[in-house]
Structure 1
Amino acid sequence: MEQTKGSGRTLAGEAYAAIRQEIRSGAFKPGDRLRFTDLRALCGMSVTPVREALARLTAEGFTVLDDHRGYSVARLSLDELRDVTATRQLCEGEALRLSVLKGDADWEGRVLAAHHLMARIPQAREDIPSAMREDWEARHAAFHAALISACGSPSLLEICGKLFSRADRYRRLAVSLEGAARDVTGEHRRLMERALARDADGAAEALREHYGRTAAALESFFKG
């Protein structure tokens, strides 16, 4: 019995990852209806784990449930962008400030290593310059996680992780709009330098500006 339950949870997790990746990559676009037959074919599994995955995705804001239409991909909106950005600036800015104050040599090593790995590969795909490489995105997430990893609050880290995921689709859209106009590499380097220089307030402010630039790039898109 326990083995069946464990397998079910694993299948639901696999379905969650597969569907979420399709949403993140744009294969499933905002507003697209998600049909169980298509999702079962995508995931190669029965309805139950797919339904569990959709419930989790809905709780995290990636999908929505309509009593008449079923599940669909959550639409992007200016109101959500502003809300997520402001909350990230508040929560992650404080998490970074605390990490700079509390972080030890191991934390410094994590930040340096994560930045080094991220900086070693280009952000954009060669075939689609307006899209991010998945391996860069993974290293980018690891860098931001390393920055705040010494804040000392598991609850705050959990909140920041969820907000980072919520902002993912907006970040990907911003990259397609910004092109080469923004020096993201320089922004990340400044974040690392201020953090390692133990400039807690400066690092937090650099992070707030970093996220603010992404939001600013999308403001005109939504208003237009």
Structure 2
Amino acid sequence: MDQKKPGGRTLAGDAYEAIRQSIRTGAVKPGDRLRFADLQALCGMSVTPVREALARLTAEGFTVLDDHRGYSVASLSLAELRDITAARQLCEGEALRLSVTKGDGDWEAGLVAAHHLMARIPQARDDIPSVMREDWEARHATFHAALIAACGSPILLEICEKLFSRADRYRRLSVSLTGGARDVTGEHRRLMELALARDAEGAVAALREHYGRTAAALEGFFKA
């Protein structure tokens, strides 16, 4: 049994967050082998919650299990990037269309608030401009969730959340390559404005283009 912690958290849940964050930030690289001793030291836990965390990370595509080598960080690939991008454009596009159609005043207020908080801080770190700030990334996730929050389908929202998480490593790599050359702030503002104007088709088209630009920025990297 996974030991419960205050606030309903579990050891396995905390181990999952710690290992996933190491993968997201590049502390461990794609293809790196994940040794239990190292992960136990990272998490400050016994092997059982670490093993449970790895099983969850593998199910979500962040790690892979090889019978001979054990666990390792999942590699990045152009094929997966294209697959994730197409799935996000399809699923989040439909969720956004439904949200724009069904959203009420509370949805509008939540979207404006999420955009305001995200826009108040820069995307890049001051010391390393090619790396995203973690607080901006958290607000960025909240903004994209707010866009589709009124779609009315918990299952669709769950799928979109998983796809957003799966795209995280590619998004971070894109930022490291493009730096400030892309007007991400303007793209987000346009998404909000189209959604609030109840232009469902325009908002969906802007969202598809938004994700397509991230993929396009990485095409050359994978083909090099």
Coarse TM-score class (shorter-chain normalised): over 0.9
Amino acid at match of 1:42: L
Q: 1:120 to 1:80 in 2, by over 3 A?
A: same
Other-structure match for 1:126: 126
Asked if 2 retains the 8 angstrom alpha-carbon contact of 1:12 and 1:50, the reply is yes
Q: 1:6 aligned to 2:4?
A: yes
Deviation of 1:155 after TM superposition, in Å, equals 0.3
* Structure 2: unaligned runs, 5 residues or longer: none
Amino acid at match of 1:50: V
Matches of 1:158 and 1:176, distance apart in 2: 28
Amino acid at match of 2:72: S
Other-structure match for 2:113: 113
1:14-37 deviation line (CA, Å, top 9, x unaligned): 000000000000001000000000
Other-structure match for 1:213: 213
Asked if 1 retains the 8 angstrom alpha-carbon contact of 2:3 and 2:11, the reply is no
Asked if 2 retains the 8 angstrom alpha-carbon contact of 1:40 and 1:46, the reply is yes
Other-structure match for 1:190: 190
Deviation of 1:179 after TM superposition, in Å, equals 1.4
Matches of 2:110 and 2:218, distance apart in 1: 31
Amino acid at match of 1:97: R
Other-structure match for 1:27: 27
1:69-96 deviation line (CA, Å, top 9, x unaligned): 0000000000000000000000000000
Deviation of 1:181 after TM superposition, in Å, equals 1.4
Deviation of 1:180 after TM superposition, in Å, equals 1.7
Amino acid at match of 1:46: S
Matches of 2:18 and 2:3, distance apart in 1: 20
Paired residues, number: 222
Amino acid at match of 2:117: L
Matches of 1:40 and 1:203, distance apart in 2: 45
Other-structure match for 1:41: 41
Structure 2 counterpart SS, 1:201: helix
Matches of 1:140 and 1:5, distance apart in 2: 32
Matches of 1:23 and 1:5, distance apart in 2: 24
Matches of 1:180 and 1:143, distance apart in 2: 20
Deviation of 1:6 after TM superposition, in Å, equals 3.5
1:166-189 deviation line (CA, Å, top 9, x unaligned): 000000000011112110000000
TM-score by length of 2: 0.97
* Structure 1: unaligned runs, 5 residues or longer: none
Asked if 2 retains the 8 angstrom alpha-carbon contact of 1:9 and 1:49, the reply is no
- Identity of paired residues, percent? 83
Other-structure match for 2:76: 76
Asked if 2 retains the 8 angstrom alpha-carbon contact of 1:88 and 1:160, the reply is yes
4+ long deviations beyond 2 Å: 4-9
Asked if 1 retains the 8 angstrom alpha-carbon contact of 2:61 and 2:74, the reply is yes
